[in-house]
Amino acid sequence: MKNKILKLSFLLIFLFVTIGISSNFCKCYAQSSKVETSAKSMIVMETLHDKVLYSKNENTQLPMASTTKIVTAITVIENCDDLDALVTIPKSATLAEGSSIYLRANEQLTIRQLLYGLMLQSGNDAAETLALELGNGSLENFAELMNQTAENCGAENSNFVTPHGLDDKEHYTTAYDLAKITSYALKNPVFKEIVSCKKYIIPATEHNTARTLLNKNKLLSSLDGCDGVKTGYTKKSGRCLVSSCTRNGMQVVCVVLNCGPMFEDSTNLINKAFEEYKLYEILPSYKFVDDVVVEDGKTDKVRIYNKEGYNVVANETEINKYRVEYDYNKTVKAPIDKDTKLGEVKIYYDNSLIFTDNLYNIENVEGLDKIDKLKDILEKW
């Protein structure tokens, strides 16, 4: 009996210790977690080098509703020769389900106006009109263009079959892919101008009255520095939001998929990113590096410089891991043409080479002629 009690005591002690260790482990894991969000999938990415700042299930394939229209818009912009060309609205596009800018059959709008209707008011009728126009009458053809755009942006786990994002089992993306595509799209000035616009008016047409479009992205008015980009919702996808924000030269993209408090969570994630990360100039562009001694030249020295600069987004711990090294000859021989490569500048992060640029001389250096050489010899003698 005593042995049974003793064994039971050891078992209880073991269970308490195990539970304690497990509890401490979970607590430690929670404390080490960088972000909190109710999103099923999330990512915060800076747009300079597409560096991931925070993430959660960022490679999980999910439906993304109308955030699809980010891909639709940049695909249209890059495949259209004239954004101010008039388009006749097909009847089939006016029958598109969901959100609408109330297009009417045979009405004529420009592609640019349709893009504003697409991105501000999330018009599914505008999406289908644009897709049919750029896809030569075929939504399937336009989907191929969308997938090519995504591939060009480095999105490898996405598939697009609709221009508006209405539910389809073959239509999906990941938070990471959507951030990559958005980061790419924001570098296009037309896309950037459209998604940052809070209000746009489409003038009256022969078939319709004037329409005032209001951007559905509330962060444009509530979040300091917010400059885009798109909301989305279906029952299957839940609430989705892709937002971008720029402060002090640093821009971040935040993607939350299937996130109830999408505006609140995105605001917290973006503010956290700007609190913890900053834009640093590691190497200024066109920086004077040194004077190099010139042999047999009409000048004794020549200045060298690098052309490209290098900036990074980093936190306080990361910034100390960057190192800049210069490698060049201390002496060169004339004649030398301007912008001759005389060395290299290299940037390392944690001993890994991440950037290389050439070092060049700033001006021409003429060589000494025979008389100059003789004078030089006599002066040295």
The tens digit of pLDDT for each residue in 317-328 reads: 999 999 999 999
Return residue ranges of the chain for CATH 2.60.410.10: 282-380
pLDDT of residue 298: 87
> Which of 41, 55, 69, 100 does the annotation list as catalytic?
69
Condensed to tens digits (0 to 9), the pLDDT of residues 254-270 reads 999 999 999 999 999 99
Which CATH code of 3.40.50.720, 1.20.1090.10, 3.40.470.10, 2.60.410.10 fits the domain covering 282-380? 2.60.410.10
> Which of 41, 55, 56, 66 does the annotation list as catalytic?
66
Condensed to tens digits (0 to 9), the pLDDT of residues 211-253 reads 999 999 999 999 999 999 999 999 999 999 999 999 999 999 9
pLDDT of residue 212: 97
Return residue ranges of the chain for CATH 3.40.710.10: 41-276
| CATH for the stretch 41-276 | 3.40.710.10
pLDDT of residue 367: 87
Told to judge if 56 belongs to the known catalytic residues of this protein, a careful annotator would answer no
Burial class (CB in 10 A: 0-12, 13-18, 19+), 341: exposed
d(Cα 104, Cα 95) in Å, to the nearest integer?
Answer: 9
Report the candidate in 283, 354, 367 with the shortest Cα–Cα distance to residue 49.
354
Told to judge if 66 belongs to the known catalytic residues of this protein, a careful annotator would answer yes
Segments in the chain below pLDDT 70 = 1-34, 369-381
pLDDT of residue 75: 98
Amino acid making up residue 206: E
The b-or-e profile of 213-243 (16+ CB within 10 A means b, else e) is: bebbbbbbeebeebbbbbbbbbeebbbbbbb
pTM of structure: 0.85
Contacts of 236 (CB under 8 A, 6+ apart): 63, 167
CA torsion, ordered 307, 312, 316, 317, to nearest 10 deg = -100
DSSP designation for 172 = B
Site of tokens 């597409």: 50
> Which of 122, 158, 196, 244 does the annotation list as catalytic?
122
Told to judge if 122 belongs to the known catalytic residues of this protein, a careful annotator would answer yes
* Secondary structure (DSSP) of 73-133: HHHHHHH-S-TT-EEEPPHHHHT--SS-----TT-EEEHHHHHHHHHTS--HHHHHHHHHH
